[in-house]
Copies of this chain bind each other. A is one copy, B any other.
Amino acid sequence: MTFRPLHDRLLVRRIEAEDKTAGGIIIPDTAKEKPQEGEVIAAGAGLKAEDGTVTPLDVKAGDRILFGKWSGTEVKIDGEDLIIMKESDVFGIIG
């Protein structure tokens, strides 16, 4: 089942702190306002200017990202808990 985020939105799978890979960012203390890590599943086509021109996003499917702890909205798609957020919620790209 496909889900196409609209405009500047992203569909993101959260990467839990424990199952960090070798190049891992270790963020053990999730209590504090630490940023979260995730993988981009799908990205919107980009932001639309008033005259209709679309500016592609700098974040794309497959990117590993850091984002603000309280960013976005949780959604369950095909039984999996994912997050929908905006590109402006993303701090940066890992690796």
Contacts and interface: CB of A to CB of B under 8 A. Distances in A.
A12 interface: no
The residue among A3, A49, A68, A79 with the most chain B CB atoms within 10 A of its own CB is: A3
B33 A74 contact: yes
Contacts of A45: 58
Interface string A57-75: 0110000001010000111
Interface in A2-51: 2-7, 9, 11, 23-28, 32-35, 42, 44-45, 47-51
In order of increasing CB-CB distance, the 4 nearest A-B pairs are A52-B55, A5-B92, A49-B50, A1-B23
Contacts of A47: 50
